[in-house]
Chains A and B, each alone.
Chain A
Amino acid sequence: MEKESGRSKLILPPEGAETREGGATGRRAHLHVITRSYDHMIERKDCRSIFKVILMLSLLCVLIALRSAVWAQDIELSAEVDRSSISLNEQIMLYVTVRGDINSVPEPVLPNLSDFSILSKSQSQNIEIVNFQTTASIGYQYILQPRRTGNLVIGPVTLDYDGKTYKTASVSVVVTKSGGGLAVPAPVPTRPQLHLPPVMPSIQPPAGFPGSFPSVSMPFDDSPGIAAFATVDKKSAYMNEQVILTVHFYYPAGTSLERRYLPPTNAGFLTEEIAPTQKRTVAYQGRQYMVEDIMFALYPIQAGKAMTIGGVTINYQVRDFFHSQDTIKTEPLSIDVLSLPSGAPQGFSQAVGVFQVEASLDRTDTPMDEPVTLTVKVTGEGNISTLDFPLKNLDGFKKFDTTETHKSQWDGAHVTGEKIFKTVLVPQKTGTLQVPELSFIYFDTSKKEYRTISTKGLSLAVTPAAQKGNMAGQPSQGGTEPVTAQKSDIHYIKTNFSGREGDRPPLYRNTLFMGIQLVPLLVLIAMTVRTKRQESLQRDPLGARKSKAYGLFRKNLDAAKRNLAGKKTSEFYGALQKSLIDYVRDRYQMGSGLTIQQIRENLEEKKLPEDLLNSLEAILKACEQARFLPGTMNEKDCQEHLRKCSEAVTRMEKKFS
């Protein structure tokens, strides 16, 4: 290591390293830096190949990610209609195609097609593998029937895939009244699918084998004898009447082959496949043949003479080393399609066949605002998949969207089935609500007339809303947790008002109330004061009399005034004398029973002014004179003496204070 560091002095340290470590910190630090950076370079040489590998790997990863991202984004969504103008009683095809490297793509979402009824839907898939890259296109075909005339718009079809939303442009369709242009609908593409024949025991050919072998050019001896021809069960049919197309596919018994077929390309017919196919064996010209019956139910949607039913193409491959894939196609057929007789009753919705209808509710009683489900089931033979059951508004109910499901089956001669319409109804009032008889009009193909059949009327007992768990008027969604865990409702309202006017301030803010709280405190204080005074009176009686002297004087003087008012002169002077003597006695703490002279002497000791003493003496003498010689004093004298007395006492009080 030391040797290496010696060599390393020749190598300038990288600038970044020096500044990082702080080049100015000293020579020793500098040397240390050089050594460290050189060590790194040695390591870097060793690691370079590893870095390269990692770099390559990460590049690869990025490329793969990008590639898959590009692939994932490489989706085309398109929507188109077969015609831009139709009449009201015709149907229109809507093709929605998803193209790209797609393995599992969700179904595109159709816009709200309130102006159309979707009569049927089918799907087809086409997969190509070129240079290890899969390109698939999934086609969805919808048959739409307009519900009104005018310029109707089919909104954009959307598809959510891999976090992205794909959208098509809107398509507009002009719908005219019936009797418009008789445009020929485009061929109805159906799904080419590989039907492996089910393993069924061989059965004997039926006695009345339909027709004979057509003049099919039989293959050479080394080729297997393979033939196919098609038959229909009737030569003429009404619009929307069920026509069964059967393709008989013959091949020698014991031949192992794989086959797939493409449904007929029929302008003017709706095509439904009937699966599974049936197999049997027949003998022809000494050879045993396997016959596979592939059946389709066709519904004419356009009237006309000799309407062509296209041929059915069958691709097959015999599983041996000598034969490659081959194709056989049946001859086209034609039938007459008759228009339905005029005079269709109001409400006829293109149902042709023989049907029964029944209606039911999922409950017979329900609380108000709780949804019930009205189920209408149409069963029978005919165009089950496309029939409609328009439900008008029911009195007392709020009607929500109708969902429809249908299933059909092959009964050996016809396609029969049932279509179920489920409508959510929310009762809007209490009591017994009636669902009236619902009528269904169809064209009976056996009797060749329009028939109206009805369901039975239903009744529903609606009780007042019991549980306020969900929003009024909206059906509760299945699967959501009920909001209230307990089955209890709020208590009922109160009926007694017992209200008072105004929101009063609290009691502690009420001045009067708080004022009352002072009363006991004041009582306590008063009691204390009173007790204290009583106690002090008991301790010092003379002192107490001294402090009360003036009060007593005023009291006695008031008595004197009353006598004066009552013109009792002698009583007046008696009271006046008493008030003055009592005051002087209490104030100057003298004994009782003193003469005027003794009083004067006592007061002289207290150093009262001479004029005050004279005045007092004069008043007291006047009092004695008045008492012993009544009639000597008149009222004026009384007033004069009263004033002088008050004046004298006031002067004495001032001297004390």
Chain B
Amino acid sequence: MKKYIAACALLFLLITGYAKPCSAGRESASSMFQYGNDAYKGGNYQKARECYEKVLNDGYVSPSLYYNLGNTCFKENRIGWALLYYEKAHRLAPRDRDINYNLGLVRDAFAQSALYSSDERMMWFKGFCTINECTVLVSVLYFAFMTLLISYVFYRQERFFWVLCTTGFLLLCFSIILGTAVYDRETMHYGMVVAPSAEVRSGPSYKENVTSIIPEGCKIRIIRKEGEWVEISVKARTSKDEATYGKIEGWIPDKDQSAI
């Protein structure tokens, strides 16, 4: 049994990426990241952004990379892009203090977050842990539950009964949460308005009427894509005093937004 556990643990480590491969490419990406940091320190935000973008284009992903990109974009007054990168960083590291602070600060100060809200679901979950963390948690609970079940049923370990019940209940709860989160991830797509403002039209063409205008940094839900256009939905506050929201739905040019 011990051998099994050791083998499983090893596989876990391999899968969840704790055993990182160290390569020459990674080292060059790391040094490029450092160049970007140096440029940022020197106040050359454009150069810093170019360095970070190069690391990103080389296929590297990290919360600090997105976070630093967000900072440079903010310094360059590109609020939409800054928010986009902060959101991406937040998805990777939802409990990071700096990322949450900057995301909140920029969103509240610039993006008229009081007026617009994307009807994003599972916000509490997304602010708490990543989907992978939840998957691992459910998996651990599942293994524990099965072990307890086998020992209870086949080895008559009566004292495990309440532990088994508790683990089973937790497993059920977290499985439901994980299932909802996975469903949300697979079916819902969100984006950020990165142009100074985006005209929402009634159809995917410049000939259609403009029904409303949404500002830069506004988080939108992407319903579908058609050529150069995306159909979006966003909630806008309709009353000045009460927090009542109405839905804005329509098409915006794809270039005005970027997917989170």
- Contacts from A to B (Cβ < 8 Å): 464, 468, 471-472, 483-485, 488, 490-504, 506-508, 510, 512-513, 516-517, 519-521, 523-524, 527, 531
In-complex Cβ contact of B142 among A471, A483, A520 (8 A) = A520
User: Once the chains bind, are A493 and B65 in contact (CB under 8 Å)?
Assistant: no
**Distance A519 CA – B147 CA, assembled complex (angstroms):** 11
Residues of B within 8 A of A492 (CB): 71, 98
List CB contacts (< 8 Å) of B135-168 with chain A: 135-136, 139, 142-143, 146-147, 149-150, 153-154
Known A468-B75, A490-B106, A519-B8: A497·B146 in contact at CB below 8 Å: no
Interface core residue of A507, A521, A524, A527 (most chain B CB under 10 Å):
A507
B194 CB, min distance to chain A CBs, angstroms: 17
Residues of A within 8 A of B43 (CB): 464
User: Once the chains bind, are B55 and A472 in contact (CB under 8 Å)?
Assistant: no
In-complex Cβ contact of B135 among A468, A494, A506 (8 A) = A506
Chain B residue at minimum C-beta to C-beta distance from A472: B77
Interface size of B in residues (CB-CB distance below 8 Å)? 57
- Contacts from B to A (Cβ < 8 Å): 4, 8, 11-12, 15-17, 20-21, 23, 25-26, 29-30, 33-34, 37, 40, 43, 55, 59-65, 67-68, 71-72, 74-75, 77, 98, 101-102, 105-106, 109-110, 131-132, 135-136, 139, 142-143, 146-147, 149-150, 153-154, 178, 182, 185
Q: Secondary structure at chain B's binding surface: helix, strand, loop or mixed?
A: helix
A517 CB, min distance to chain B CBs, angstroms: 6
Chain B residue at minimum C-beta to C-beta distance from A508: B135
Q: What 5 A-B pairs are tightest by C-beta distance, nearest first?
A: A520-B146, A499-B62, A494-B64, A499-B60, A491-B98
User: Once the chains bind, are B142 and A517 in contact (CB under 8 Å)?
Assistant: yes
User: Once the chains bind, are B20 and A500 in contact (CB under 8 Å)?
Assistant: yes
Residues of A within 8 A of B135 (CB): 506-508, 513
Chain A residue at minimum C-beta to C-beta distance from B100: A491
Residues of A within 8 A of B4 (CB): 519
User: Once the chains bind, are A493 and B71 in contact (CB under 8 Å)?
Assistant: yes
User: Once the chains bind, are A499 and B150 in contact (CB under 8 Å)?
Assistant: no
Of the A-B pairs whose beta carbons lie under 8 Å apart in the complex, a sample of 14, sorted by A's number, is A488-B105, A493-B72, A497-B34, A497-B65, A503-B59, A507-B15, A507-B131, A508-B131, A508-B135, A516-B8, A516-B11, A519-B8, A520-B142, A524-B149
**Distance A484 CA – B185 CA, assembled complex (angstroms):** 33
Residues of A within 8 A of B185 (CB): 506
In-complex Cβ contact of A497 among B59, B64, B110, B143 (8 A) = B64
Known A483-B110, A498-B64, A520-B142: A490·B8 in contact at CB below 8 Å: no
Residues of A within 8 A of B11 (CB): 512, 516
Chain B residue at minimum C-beta to C-beta distance from A523: B150
Residues of A within 8 A of B55 (CB): 499
User: Once the chains bind, are A497 and B30 in contact (CB under 8 Å)?
Assistant: yes
A100 CB, min distance to chain B CBs, angstroms: 40
Chain B residue at minimum C-beta to C-beta distance from A530: B154
Residues of A within 8 A of B25 (CB): 501
In-complex Cβ contact of A512 among B15, B26, B74, B101 (8 A) = B15
Chain A residue at minimum C-beta to C-beta distance from B16: A507
In-complex Cβ contact of A503 among B15, B61, B143, B146 (8 A) = B61
B122 CB, min distance to chain A CBs, angstroms: 14
Known A494-B67, A501-B60: A507·B132 in contact at CB below 8 Å: yes
Chain B residue at minimum C-beta to C-beta distance from A484: B109
User: Once the chains bind, are A508 and B8 in contact (CB under 8 Å)?
Assistant: no
A-B interface pairs (CB < 8 A), number: 122
B125 CB, min distance to chain A CBs, angstroms: 14
A23 CB, min distance to chain B CBs, angstroms: 46
User: Once the chains bind, are A491 and B102 in contact (CB under 8 Å)?
Assistant: yes
Residues of A within 8 A of B101 (CB): 490-491
Given contacts A472-B77, A503-B61, A519-B8, 17 further A-B contacts (CB under 8 A): A488-B105, A493-B37, A493-B64, A494-B64, A494-B67, A498-B64, A499-B30, A501-B25, A502-B59, A506-B185, A507-B15, A512-B11, A516-B8, A516-B139, A520-B147, A520-B150, A527-B150
Chain A residue at minimum C-beta to C-beta distance from B32: A497
In-complex Cβ contact of A499 among B12, B29, B98 (8 A) = B29
**Distance A208 CA – B110 CA, assembled complex (angstroms):** 74
In-complex Cβ contact of B62 among A464, A468, A498 (8 A) = A498
Residues of B within 8 A of A472 (CB): 77
Chain B residue at minimum C-beta to C-beta distance from A368: B43
In-complex Cβ contact of B182 among A464, A508, A519, A520 (8 A) = A508
User: Once the chains bind, are B61 and A499 in contact (CB under 8 Å)?
Assistant: yes
**Distance A497 CA – B43 CA, assembled complex (angstroms):** 20
User: Once the chains bind, are B62 and A497 in contact (CB under 8 Å)?
Assistant: yes
User: Once the chains bind, are B74 and A524 in contact (CB under 8 Å)?
Assistant: no
In-complex Cβ contact of A493 among B20, B59, B67, B105 (8 A) = B67
Interface core residue of A468, A508, A524 (most chain B CB under 10 Å):
A508
Residues of A within 8 A of B64 (CB): 493-499
Chain A residue at minimum C-beta to C-beta distance from B106: A490
A577 CB, min distance to chain B CBs, angstroms: 40
User: Once the chains bind, are A513 and B15 in contact (CB under 8 Å)?
Assistant: yes
A52 CB, min distance to chain B CBs, angstroms: 47
B100 CB, min distance to chain A CBs, angstroms: 10
Known A495-B37, A512-B15, A531-B154: A500·B60 in contact at CB below 8 Å: yes
Chain B residue at minimum C-beta to C-beta distance from A491: B98
B67 CB, min distance to chain A CBs, angstroms: 6
Residues of B within 8 A of A500 (CB): 17, 20, 60-62
Residues of A within 8 A of B150 (CB): 520, 523-524, 527
B134 CB, min distance to chain A CBs, angstroms: 9
User: Once the chains bind, are B146 and A499 in contact (CB under 8 Å)?
Assistant: no
A511 CB, min distance to chain B CBs, angstroms: 10
**Distance A464 CA – B67 CA, assembled complex (angstroms):** 21
